[in-house]
Amino acid sequence: MPPPDGCNHNPHEDDVNSPTSPFNFLDQNYQELHQNCLAENTLFYDELFPPDDSSIGTLEDNPYLDPSLIVWKRPFELVSDPNLIVDGVSRYDYAQGNVGNCWFLASIGALTFEKDIMKQVMPPEQSFTQDYAGIFHFRFWRFGKWIDVVIDDQLPTYFDELLFVSSKTSNEFWPALLEKAYAKVCGSYADLNGGLMSEALMDFTGGTHMYYSPDYNPPPADLWKIMECAFTSKALICCATNAATTAEEKEKLHGISEEHAYTVTGIFEVTSDENPVHLVRVLNPWGKVEWQGDWSDESPLWDTVCEEVRTICHEVLNNGEFWMSVEDFTSIFYCIDICCSCPDFLDGSSECHWTSKRHFGRWNAETTAETFPQFRVTIDELNEECAIGQRPENTLVSLMQNHEKRNRMSQKYYNICFFVFEIPLEMRGQSGRFSAGFVNETEPVAQTDALAGFREVMKFFRLEPGEYLIVPCTENPGDTASFVLSIFSKNETHFEYIQETSE
């Protein structure tokens, strides 16, 4: 598996930073600010995310919360011995607070499994003891760019309890500080209310995102095997439920919450009465409330497996984590997100390594159906190692939009999609854009399954060696937003933006 900063990446000229050389968010330089505080013997005060109502935002889901009773305190004002981390980072360290950001916390649960990625997001050598100055920093990948986010350690409290994410160990503060840094990026704590797991997963890794859902990308028959390979290969996996609309749908939930995000924390095969059973372990970010069906903590089915397996897998604890069969898992969880540095895991033990290309583009008010951006992709022959991979798909295309507004909840994503057309032999090598006639009259060889108002849409498919045209679109020509178009491939790939031709 390649290192956490991604596939063998050939960057576009604008994509020159990395987790180790990020851009300073809001032009705040952590090293300079930290050293200034130490030199002046002061604690950092973040004027760009101040301890007041503007950083909280409007918490519409909590009408009984009295904003006048919110008090911002530093950790040493809450406990006598604050620590960033106590006994390592764990998925059991935290529980959700007074904002609907289960999508973000479920993603943190997945993040805790991957220590290298965790260090990438939360740089080491920060503490409440050595060189403490009330300042911390975190790193996220936002719309194709790594950013370093500086915060002070003042946290909102309500009757001396943390208002938002809380630690189960009272003197451990990494979850609250990580949440604050992400809230700063998104505009406020209230801007974390509601979202898709894929947003945080991608912002943690800057990698490849795959999702499966009935409406947009139905899960394949071998989903459990894909998840097993992904989990073994250090991918982050989350899942979410939809609203239950019928009595039958509500009945089969058996303790699973509607419209809620969860973390996938384990994949395991057991033998039950001589029959193989594929299990998935799932964590509720609330830190409680669990599945009550087959293979749950108190299910009698655990008596049908050997004692060794029960020792490894079976715990009866009300910690929000539970096992279930993959059949129950896929029937209840509507969306499954897998995010990894690179999709190499899809080829099992193959020596093939995927590569990635990325381009930053823009739709503007003058964009019409005839002038959507166009990209030429040349797919080379597979080498022998890649040709023996386990899956036929060899290409993943991702289209991510960015309205460039500070407050996350103030921007509504456009319905977006992309089309992939094969370029005929007689048209290969031509310069300039392809005509509207070609685009309108040619059947695409691949496309997103539907126009979707998501931050990102993706499609996983096979392209034979040859030349192709990718056209990223908005539903309404003239919608204005920047976008990032990424292509991941296990073939050698040449990727270029087709410039407008002058008259």
| Catalytic residue annotation | 102, 260, 284
- Pairwise CA distance, residues 411 & 223, whole Å: 33
Q: What single-letter amino acid sits at 359? A: H
C-alpha–C-alpha distance, residues 17 and 23, integer Å? 7
Retrieve residue 457's tokens.
């849409």
Instruction: State the Cα–Cα distance between residues 31 and 464, nearest whole angstrom.
Output: 49
Element (H, E) at 307: helix 307-313
Concatenated DSSP letters for 40-84?
A: HT-----TTS-SSHHHH---TT-TT--GGGEEEE-HHHH-SS-BS
**Nearest 10 degrees: Cα torsion 369, 371, 375, 376:** 100
Tokens representing 226 are 């894909």
Laid out side by side, the sheet with 416-422 consists of: 446-447, 416-422, 466-474, 375-379, 493-497
Question: H or E segment at 395?
Answer: strand 395-402
DSSP-assigned beta bridge partners for residue 289? none
The pair of three-digit structure tokens given for residue 36, joined into one six-digit string: 């200034």
